[in-house]
Structure 1
């Protein structure tokens, strides 16, 4: 369900920290994802329609203890280990911090192509305070 950022902040039991987006944001949306009440999940999408670029941040408080998928990456500035979940179609990074799980995904041309490499996504992840 799409909501305003303020509504999402009021509905989920964790702070919604946002990244510094490295392109001009012309469209932004916030959605609370349906999880059958098992955990809370928020998806923040930042886009520039003219450039065809998107950056999506997913934050959850899921207690699932499944091993992360992807290639183990470097530590973030806060000490969190990361996993590079990129493929030929999308660039993505995943990490857990203070009981929350984060996934940062970037794409261009309707997410048919990767936008940023792992190093750039790691830099963006480090801006989330």
Structure 2
């Protein structure tokens, strides 16, 4: 997955300091508030997460503006990052459902339209 939507970025738009927590929260789909609380607790108890935060702040690229068109697209890409196989299964199921409904519409239209049926038979 080389899409820019599946890459971890610093989110400067929702940042408090460097945007690392906001970027990780965006990437994982976790609410940024809970991620920040967890980061503070880890920093107080262990200390090393502060260093990791600043290293990540220096290494991660800024999130491109307008990466997602709307919130539904953002939720979709978060689900792709969390479970690509489940997302592929859901997409296949949606296409099967669309195909089934299209076949039902086609069968209904062709069977209930004698003029169309006669036209098709005449072309054979």
| Shorter-chain TM band | under 0.3
TM-score under structure 2 length normalisation: 0.19
Which of the pair has more CA radius of gyration? Answer: 2
Higher helix proportion, which one? 2
